[in-house]
Amino acid sequence: TFSALGAPTTTVIGDTGTLADSSDVRQASQTTASIPDVLTCGTMHAVTIGWSDQVASETSLSDFALTVAGTTIGADFVMSRAAAVLGAAGGGKVAIEGLSINGLPIAVTGATNQVVLIPGGRVVINEQQSTTSNALHVVIDGVADVIVGSATAGIQ
């Protein structure tokens, strides 16, 4: 999801949409994707699977580069997973390989909500919310709010 503040727009690439029923499976994939002057990436895949008592979602992309307000963020591979089981708390996890910011390698610790400061904002790695797992959340204060690799799973 990409949202440029001041010019409200949201661009979603590779969304599976909502499951039709508890036993539905949905997937979306592309071999390449881009938003001119902002994002390029190789293979993208998203899948959501439902069972009678649980839902699992996963999204992944390869070879991505994102440029926002003069900051370039890239990775060889990004994956996010989320799962929800009826009557239990949801959970998620991410995998990120080869992360760099402005060409400098960034160590992904595996900690939830790892923050890396960038000019004018921050990158949150492994952002976890109750039903959503975001691999990367890039915020340039007052300029842009970009989520890369988001998986959501909810059941009721």
Alpha-carbon distance of 93 to 64, in angstroms, equals 19
Which of the two residues, 16 and 135, has the higher pLDDT score? 135
> With pLDDT > 90 as the criterion, what percentage of the chain qualifies?
46
Residue 50 and residue 20: Cα distance in Å, rounded?
Answer: 9
* Stronger pLDDT, 30 or 100, i.e. the higher one: 100
Kindly tell me the sign of the dihedral angle through the C-alpha atoms of 34, 38, 40, 46. negative
User: How much is the pTM?
Assistant: 0.85
Question: What is the C-alpha separation between 116 and 94, in angstroms, rounded?
Answer: 16
Predicted local confidence at residue 113, as pLDDT: 96
pLDDT of 122 strictly over 90: yes
The pLDDT value given to residue 36 = 77
Computed over every residue of the chain, the mean pLDDT equals 86
pLDDT at residue 1 is higher than 50: no
